[in-house]
A and B are shown apart, each in its own frame.
Chain A
């Protein structure tokens, strides 16, 4: 009996040792560059540093951020961006995935074509868009010219998109700028491939009997999609919403590559990430940048928890 116990114990010790060895590389990297920096950021945010040195100011950086107009402006840009990209991206991707799911021939070809923007780097793709949207040499203004419309400034246009849509009845400072809308359009195009593939994976895994049963009961195509397919796909939709919301709060590459500095005309595309980047990297305020990052992270975590609590409950799992 004792011998068995002894053997079990020594095996547990050996397993523990093996586990320690196998986990060591991951834990070392994640510990130093994943977990320590979080504590470091909070610590750093309590100092008013400028290029590496500065006095302790407690929550001073946070107070400064929350009372500063620039912070709220960049928060609003981030908000516009999330609201402008996620719903449109979800609807378009779902429609494409559904269509791809219904066809048999050339599905692989179409899937590859739709997925193409996603595998290309945002920087390279943005370079192409920047030329396409260029006011003088871009193709978009050429198309407008054919349609008999006036040329636009696109990525260089700080005036609001609502101003243009309403022929100037809404002041140009209200709502997202045309420049920001171009970035949004780019992002929808660039990220939709990922959404389509995830939707396709979800559709493939669905039990077919329920759709067939609904059809036998006389439901039309749209009714089946709305009442059967969509509820069954709710875990996928929920996953994509959470992931896209986090992603949209961290968006940087497309902003930076499309506008050249991320800030855009009259700072109208300066979202939170760009604001953090320019505070600490261009202007050298590490402490303030860290406080901004902490606030941004807090917003992301809060948003994710709210999504889990309110939408997570309605998600249907088999």
Chain B
């Protein structure tokens, strides 16, 4: 009993310590500037400044940044789900010459560090005339090896009998994939989608390198530059950080139940 209590106390203090920066961020976002600038441990603002959020959107084009980020992340997520559904199904269920080698090559791209592809990709994008465009922000991320791998694992879990039964009824691969197999791997789709969204929304290096115009900036880049411009206005800075974090936290809490433990655990074990 005592040991359980100690365990709970340790876990709780660790959890509070872990989440403290967020708590501090949210409450500072509501403080007046003088209060935010004077360090004190009193967490709650003396007066709640709701107007700070309006002011943040005036101080920098965050509405535009959000529009860019959501547009890019939504398209990337959709494309990653579709491309990995198709490729994952192919590697799990279809036979064709060179399949093993091809899968190996795709997996190898996962091992290659992104730094090495950064500069040539920058050059490719410039040659294509895509610099400062949505295409540059979206197209290179529309497929990735990790998602294909997870999706293949998901489809391997679908019993082969299902397909045989469907085939007897005259159902080909494409219809089987779209109407029967895809709905069966829903947890994997959610995991792949969530990772794709988080990866795209939270990305910094690529959008930083590939865009230079303010109206093409995504929120992460915008927030980085916001520090330079508004570094002294701590309350607005914390407002900006809060609104940047909010969508991912919301998405995570919605998807949480279906996510990770099941599909990832299966992928890791030897």
Enumerate chain A interface residues (CB-CB to B < 8 A).
12, 15-16, 18-20, 22-23, 25-30, 32-38, 40-41, 44, 96, 99-100, 102-103, 106, 110, 112-117, 119-125, 127-132, 137-139, 141-142, 189, 192, 197-198, 200-202, 204-205, 235-236, 239, 246, 249-250, 252-253, 256-257, 260, 272-273, 276-277, 280-281, 286, 289-290, 293-294, 296-297, 300-301, 304, 315, 317-318
In the complex, chain B residues whose CB is within 8 Å of the CB of A36? 120, 124
In the complex, chain A residues whose CB is within 8 Å of the CB of B118? 276-277, 293
CB distance from A301 to the nearest CB of B (A): 7
A205 to B263, CA, bound (A): 12
Do A236 and B268 form a contact, CB below 8 Å, given A128-B238, A139-B24? yes
Instruction: Name the residue of chain A whose CB is nearest to the CB of B249.
Output: A119
Q: Bin the interface of chain B by size.
A: 35 or more
Do A297 and B115 form a contact, CB below 8 Å, given A23-B87, A116-B19, A128-B24? yes
CB distance from B76 to the nearest CB of A (A): 11
From A15, A106, A110, A202, contact of B95 by CB (8 A): A15
Do A315 and B270 form a contact, CB below 8 Å, given A36-B124, A200-B261, A204-B261? yes
Whether the pair B120, A44 counts as a contact (CB closer than 8 A) is yes
Q: Is the interface of B mostly helix, strand, loop or mixed?
A: helix
Q: Is the interface of A mostly helix, strand, loop or mixed?
A: helix
Whether the pair A37, B268 counts as a contact (CB closer than 8 A) is no
Give 1 or 0 for each of B18-50: 1 = CB within 8 Å of chain A CB: 110110110010000000111111000000000
Whether the pair A256, B39 counts as a contact (CB closer than 8 A) is no
From B86, B224, B245, B264, contact of A25 by CB (8 A): B86
Is residue B57 contacting chain A, with contact meaning CB distance below 8 A?
no
| A-B pairs with lowest CB-CB distance, top 8 | A40-B120, A201-B265, A37-B120, A33-B140, A37-B117, A29-B143, A121-B202, A22-B86
Whether the pair A198, B90 counts as a contact (CB closer than 8 A) is no
Is residue B182 contacting chain A, with contact meaning CB distance below 8 A?
no
Whether the pair B113, A250 counts as a contact (CB closer than 8 A) is yes
CB distance from B209 to the nearest CB of A (A): 6
Do A41 and B120 form a contact, CB below 8 Å, given A22-B86, A297-B112? yes
A16 to B148, CA, bound (A): 18
